[in-house]
Amino acid sequence: MTTWKSNIRTVVPYTPGEQPKSKVIKLNTNENPYPPSPLVGKVISNIDLDSLRKYPDPTCDILVEALAKYHSVDKSKVFVGVGSDDVLAMSFITFFNSNLPILFPDTTYSFYDVWADLFRIPYEQKLLDDDFKINIDDYSKPCGGIIIPNPNAPTGVAESVEFFEKIVAAHPECVVIIDEAYVDFGSNSCIGLTDKYDNVIVVRTYSKSRSMAGNRIGYAIGNPELIKYLSDCKFSFNSYTMDTITLAAGVASLQDDEYFKARINDVINTREWTKGKLAELGFSFPDSKSNFIFAKHESKDATYIFEELKKKGIYVRHFSKPERIANYLRISIGTDEEMQQLIEALRDIL
């Protein structure tokens, strides 16, 4: 007998990094170790309570306008959502409707295959080479869409804008999504490609570089036609996605660019210091342009190091799949003090 169980959409969900309640050194989810700009705090504490009585602006106009101004693009090219996960999921629904598979790397953000499964989008994962670089020839055949983070996660490896332009130009038959979650930490943005090509969309987040993972703000920049289709899907699903407080906080962050750039610089300096120390301790890693380092030790097992660090109250991220990365740890960049403590802990463990 058939039961309701045969009509369920079953999925294997994405597993987010742990959010421990106790005080630990948290280097496992690529959060920024610094708070957002004080201006963000000021705007949040000055929110008019009466304004919460009403629904938020469904078009998120103040944030769209501020982002357009910040990136010197027209408002019609900007879409905002509840973190880039929301923007990316909506993009999968809107743009990936071909019978041909979509393409993305085998080692990448582990939400892509989860969304593809959830939305029943066929997909193929292309092996990175031994240096975790993308082989452009893997992305040359006609397909249902392409999604690649730049820099890639969890490797931190960045490709050039020219590299992405070749892919975008070769695929007028589909939409190419470039996930720039970590681009602010020292690689080049592909936003400029959205002027020249109508099949590319760049997705950004406030969660890493803007220190606002707790607010959930993501956005996309692309050709106005793509943005319109994306909005149509969003308004067919949930009109009121972003809340009034978050919209104002998102605008405030953009207004304090000096603070933003200074904190990015801090993270980059700490990252480069950490690279040197990790190398001294026998770790190897691809050159990271993000706020994390993807490192493997010359003799000690990643699982062992992961467990020992955890005992010492230091959380990093370990992915057991795919197998080729099972011996790597993804270490987010914290403050200087946190990274010094990490290095000391590693000296004990190794």
Ligand X SMILES: *Cc1c(COP(=O)(O)O)cnc(C)c1O
Q: Pick between residue 159 and residue 179 the one whose CB is nearest to ligand X.
A: 179
- Smaller CB separation from ligand X, 43 or 90: 90
Shortest Cβ 129–ligand X spacing (Å): 20
In terms of CB distance, is 92 or 109 closer to ligand X?
109
d(CA 255, CA 203): 20
- DSSP H stretches of helix in the chain: 38-45, 61-70, 83-95, 112-118, 161-169, 193-196, 224-235, 244-255, 257-280, 302-311, 336-349
Residue 258 CB, nearest distance to ligand X (Å)? 23
CB of 137 to ligand X, least distance (A): 23
Shortest Cβ distance from residue 179 to ligand X (Å)?
Answer: 5
Summarize as ranges the residues that interact with ligand X (CB under 6 A): 30, 83-85, 109, 149, 153, 179, 181, 205, 207, 213, 218
SS3 content of the chain, % helix, strand, coil (to 5): 40, 15, 45
For the CB of residue 112, give the shortest distance to ligand X in the complex, in Å: 9
Q: CA–CA separation, 191 vs 102, rounded Å?
A: 21
Q: Which residues contact 169 (CB under 8 A, 6 or more apart)?
A: 197
Q: Would you state the torsion angle of the CA atoms of residues 52, 58, 61, 66, taken in this order, to the nearest 10 degrees?
A: 80
Tally Cβ neighbours within 10 Å of residue 191.
21
Lookup: tokens for 224: 């106005």
Instruction: Indicate the residue among 14 and 163 with the shorter CB distance to ligand X.
Output: 14
Residue number with the smallest Cβ distance to ligand X: 83
Q: Which is nearer to ligand X, 149 or 222 (CB)?
A: 149
What is the smallest separation between the CB atom of 159 and ligand X, expressed in angstroms? 14
**CA neighbor of 138 nearest in space, from 162, 102, 177, 92:** 102
Whether the CB-CB separation of 218 and 81 falls below 8 Å is answered with yes
- The string of DSSP letters for 60-124 reads -HHHHHHHHHHTT--GGGEEEESHHHHHHHHHHHHH---SSPEEEESSS-TTHHHHHHHTT--EE
Between 199 and 211, whose beta carbon lies closer to ligand X?
A: 211
Smallest Cα–Cα separation from 327: which of 287, 290, 292, 283?
283
Nearest residue to 217 via CA among 68, 81, 63: 81
What six digits make up the tokens of 233? 């899907």
Least Å distance, CB 298 to ligand X, is 27
φ and ψ of 262, to 5 deg: -65, -40
CB of 220 to ligand X, least distance (A): 11
Please say which residue, 270 or 332, places its beta carbon nearer to ligand X: 332
Question: Closer to ligand X at the Cβ: 143 or 181?
Answer: 181
Burial class (CB in 10 A: 0-12, 13-18, 19+), 312: middle
Q: Closest approach of Cβ 83 to ligand X, in Å?
A: 3
Nearer to ligand X, 177 or 314 (CB): 177
